[in-house]
Amino acid sequence: MAVPEIRTPLPGPKAAALIARDAAVISPSYTRGYPLVVGQARGCAVEDVDGNVFLDCAAGIAVNATGHSHPDVVRAIVDQAAKFQHMSGTDFYYEPQIRLGEALAAVAPMPGGVKSFFGNSGSEAVEASIKLARYATGRSHLIAFLGGFHGRTLGSLSLTASKTVQRRGFGPLLPGVSHVPFANCYRCPVNATPDACGAECLDVLEHETLVHLVSPDEVAAVVVEPIQGEGGYLVAPNQFLARLRDITSQHGILLVVDEVQSGMGRTGQMFAIQHSGVEPDIVAIAKGVASGMPLGVSLARAELMSWPPGAHASTFGGNPIACAAALETIRLLREQLMANAERVGARLMAGLVALADKHAVIGDVRGRGLMIGVELVRDRQTKARAIEERNAVVNAAFRRGLLILGAGKNTVRFCPPLVLTEDEADTAVRIFDEALGDVAGH
Ligand code: PMP
């Protein structure tokens, strides 16, 4: 199968008919950027219902870590489905859930014992982390970052500060949540060089929020994405994460890292926080953990998991089929795919950086491993955001057979399955180059 191969106008006739049916019965709150109707997918190749084949650099929003329908993951799912499909790990025991707890403990980014709470989504992983932090500290206040995305359930939404449309009309949200500025090195307000960076962006948290607004001894947790995902693939420098750990430790505030998007091998380490050496207290995990089966995890230092039976649970959380898929996913990540993400990520990054010589609209290329953002600007001096151009480039890439997504206002994200090959990375760069050319009118 040639990847990509576009055979019909887009959307093709079958896709167009399905999209019309969708409009009649599916919630209009979903954000479909372009008209892709999937028929089947394998590895990094996605075939739509009209037989058009796309190269996937979106991975179902950074989810399909092992590629679409990896045979080992499929086998694990089928085997478990044939044994039993559900029992509720909250009320009964079963080995796949226990084994997954052990596997996660073996890869946790903090030393000592850890324990897992299982839910079904990123939002639930964050929700559980919020509840655990409050319970364990006996404090209620939470601090998160502007631009951050943590989910859409009302608790996690209270931390989300990504787009106003996500919050508008749903308030009042949780009281006792403060938002502070995140690191944005491309737009650094003090123009720090990477070596001279003192994470000045955290001055607001340390010297204003914790001084004028809330007493540190009332703060349960600071929740942070080591790389802001929906916010535009903004990589927090190590100094930022280290300073955040210092501030939180000083006041007995828990550090919760939301690794829903940046975790599970995507950056070349199991968790993005590991690039910094900072040890968190709680990690929220979802997306890539089970190759697309619904699973969310709140992974915490064992001593924090002091809540009693009944304090928190979920009927479906830790579903045995999802656990089986996660066990296979973690094995593949450790044996091959984390290393692949680092190696192929470096190649994709180099290819995208090289495109900046040709396309003035590229302002910044950043990321780690196979989590790469390309920020588009109208002018490299003013850094005016190229918002319409970004949307047009994502669409032009789709028409040429490359699936990519926007992130933030004016950034394109590349978050392919971690099985991406070097050839596929080169193809992605070539099509992205052409798509940029389409939009610049070359
Ligand atoms: N946290 C982060 C960092 C995310 O990127 C997302 C999803 N984009 C979530 C939480 C919420 O995950 P879900 O959509 O599975 O609830």
> 124: CA distance to ligand 1 center in Å?
9
- Count CB-CB contacts under 10 A for residue 305: 20
The residue range of the domain holding 405 is 13-70+336-440
Closest C-alpha to 390, from 400, 401, 377: 377
Tell me what the mean pLDDT of segment 310-316 comes to: 97
HEC letters along 38-49: EEEEEECEEEEC
pLDDT tens-digit series, residues 16-37:
999 999 999 999 999 999 999 9
Last residue within a domain, chosen from 333, 362, 381: 333
pLDDT for residue 195: 84
Residues 410 and 349 in one domain: yes
* pLDDT confidence of residue 89: 94
Task: State residue 267's pLDDT score.
Answer: 98
Same domain assignment for residues 268 and 389: no
pLDDT band at 118 (very low <50, low <70, confident <90, very high): very high
Is the shortest distance between the CB of 348 and ligand 1 below 6 Å?
Answer: no
How does strand 402-403 pair with strand 411-414? unpaired
CA 123 – ligand 1 centroid, Å: 6
Residue 7 lies in a domain: no
Say if residues 325 and 349 touch (Cβ distance below 8 Å).
no
Average pLDDT of the residues of the chain: 97
Is 3 inside any structural domain? no
Whole-number percent of the chain with pLDDT over 70: 100
* Residue found under tokens 């340390």: 206
265 pocket-lining for ligand 1 (C-beta < 6 Å): no
Give one DSSP letter per residue of 155-181, joined into a string. HHHHH--S-GGGTTTS-S--SSEEEEP
Q: Is 258 in the pocket of ligand 1 (CB under 6 A)?
A: yes
* Rg, Å, the chain Cα set: 21
Instruction: Determine the distance separating the centroid of ligand 1 and the alpha carbon of 149, expressed in angstroms.
Output: 7
Same domain, 215 and 156: yes
Query: Can you read off the two tokens belonging to residue 200?
Result: 């000045």
The model's pTM: 0.98
* Residue whose C-alpha is closest to residue 374's, from 189, 186, 161: 186
pLDDT in tens, 228-275: 999 999 999 999 999 999 999 999 999 999 999 999 999 999 999 999
289 & 373 share domain: no
Q: Is the pLDDT of residue 441 over 80?
A: no
User: Is 1 inside any structural domain?
Assistant: no
Give per-residue pLDDT as tens, 340-359: 999 999 999 999 999 999 99
Query: In the structure, what pLDDT confidence band is assigned to residue 440 with cuts at 50, 70 and 90?
Result: confident
Residue 104 in contact with residue 297, Cβ under 8 Å?
yes
Q: Report which residue type is found at 4.
A: P
Contact 435/397 with Cβ under 8 angstroms? Answer: yes
Domain boundary among 299, 333, 367: 333
List, edge to edge, every strand of the sheet that includes 411-414: 362-368, 371-376, 411-414, 405-407
Is residue 260 lining ligand 1, measured as CB closer than 6 Å? Answer: yes
Residues 201 and 285 in one domain: yes
Q: How many domains does the chain have?
A: 2
Substitution candidate for ligand 1 out of 261, 297, 298 with most atoms within 8 A of CB: 261
Interval 117-128 mean pLDDT? 98
| pLDDT at residue 317, rounded to an integer | 97
Q: Decide: 150 in ligand 1 pocket, CB within 6 A.
A: yes
- 137 close to 301: Cβ distance less than 8 angstroms: no
52 with 181, same domain?
no
